[in-house]
């Protein structure tokens, strides 16, 4: 699965990939950690 954002920004990672087996690349991991922090708030 790949997420694409048309907006170009340093604050939003690009090329976010979540593999079929649940593994995530570095950009996806960073995005997940940030999202997880928002859930805790």
Q: What is the DSSP string of 1-41?
A: -EE--SS--TTS-SSEEB-TTS-B-HHHHHHHHHHHHHHH-
At residue 36, the pLDDT reads: 87
Show me where the domains of the chain are located: 2-40
State the Cα torsion 27-29-35-38 to the nearest 10°.
Answer: -120
pTM (two decimals): 0.57
Per residue in 1-41, pLDDT tens? 666 666 677 777 777 888 888 888 888 888 888 888 888 76
């Amino acid at each position: 699965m790949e997420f694409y954002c048309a907006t170009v920004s340093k604050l939003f990672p690009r090329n976010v990939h979540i593999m079929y087996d649940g593994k995530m690349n570095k950009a996806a991991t960073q995005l997940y950690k940030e999202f997880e922090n928002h859930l805790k708030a």
